[in-house]
Amino acid sequence: MGINRSTLQSWMRDRSLVDKYLGTDLCPRCTPVSSPPEPLDAYSYLLGLYLGDGCLTPAGDPRKGVWRLRVMCSDTWPGLIELCAGAMAAIRPDHKVSRVPSTGCTEVHGNWKHWPCLFPQHGPGKKHDRTIALEPWQQAIVEKHTKEFVRGLVHSDGSRVLNRIKRKLPGDGEQYYEYPRYHFTNVSTDIIRLFTEALDRLEIPWKVHTKKRGKSYKDTYVVSVSQREAVARMDSFVGPKY
């Protein structure tokens, strides 16, 4: 390619220089021989976050074709902000991941021309207004790394809640019991299906109910995992937000 030796040596020290020189970035998808984005577990988690609460927007001048992957993380859970930033950094080592504070939340983002190659679900409009289907290579990743995918979805659009139940004791006494359960809330039936299919693969029983939100809004679907053993399974790889 006519690239001299010292240039190659500096690229080996700092991969971002390759982008500057070639005007592109090494993308695992849009090369003649495509491969899945590595590491697979970080991608599976990031895909869950993206489908739950992430989006792609042009970064700066749209004519330059650089995209920004943005995930909004609540400041209530600082640990999740770091997990999100860590997954983005794992997919694109040596590239900057930014944390931008906003009211009550932090936007974690990274810029790249090839985010749409990694998240082909990107398109105009809201996710629940269009079909969300995984490409075969994505399906293979979420089948291999199902727990990470479920974890990403729950960390963005889900929660672990404590149901408090009062029980009368003999006499005048009463006692409270707390039952943990998981909820996953989304408006897109496609995303709900991806979540419940993943739970099925893990043999975790679930239930879904519809929350009506009035004529001018789409219905919201809530998947709940509440059986004691199923919650214990979820706790082993998701756990409470932190």
Binding site for Zn ion (CB under 5 A): 27, 29-30, 114, 117
Are 77 and 154 in contact by the 8 Å Cβ rule? The answer is: no
User: How far is it, in rounded angstroms, from Cα 206 to Cα 224?
Assistant: 6
| Comparison of 135 and 200: residue with beta carbon closer to Zn ion | 135
Minimum distance of Zn ion from residue 68's CB (angstroms):
15
Minimum distance of Zn ion from residue 110's CB (angstroms):
14
Helix intervals (H) in 106-170: 115-118, 136-144, 146-157
User: In the numeric block, which tokens belong to residue 222?
Assistant: 């809530």
Are 233 and 201 in contact by the 8 Å Cβ rule? The answer is: no
| Comparison of 92 and 114: residue with beta carbon closer to Zn ion | 114
Are 2 and 22 in contact by the 8 Å Cβ rule? The answer is: no
User: How far is it, in rounded angstroms, from Cα 118 to Cα 20?
Assistant: 21
| Comparison of 118 and 134: residue with beta carbon closer to Zn ion | 118
User: How far is it, in rounded angstroms, from Cα 127 to Cα 48?
Assistant: 13
| Comparison of 27 and 55: residue with beta carbon closer to Zn ion | 27
Minimum distance of Zn ion from residue 138's CB (angstroms):
14
Minimum distance of Zn ion from residue 43's CB (angstroms):
14
3-state secondary structure at position 6: helix
Strands (E), the chain: 54-58, 67-74, 98-102, 105-112, 158-168, 174-186, 207-211, 220-225
Minimum distance of Zn ion from residue 92's CB (angstroms):
12
Minimum distance of Zn ion from residue 22's CB (angstroms):
13
| Comparison of 37 and 52: residue with beta carbon closer to Zn ion | 37
| Comparison of 47 and 154: residue with beta carbon closer to Zn ion | 47
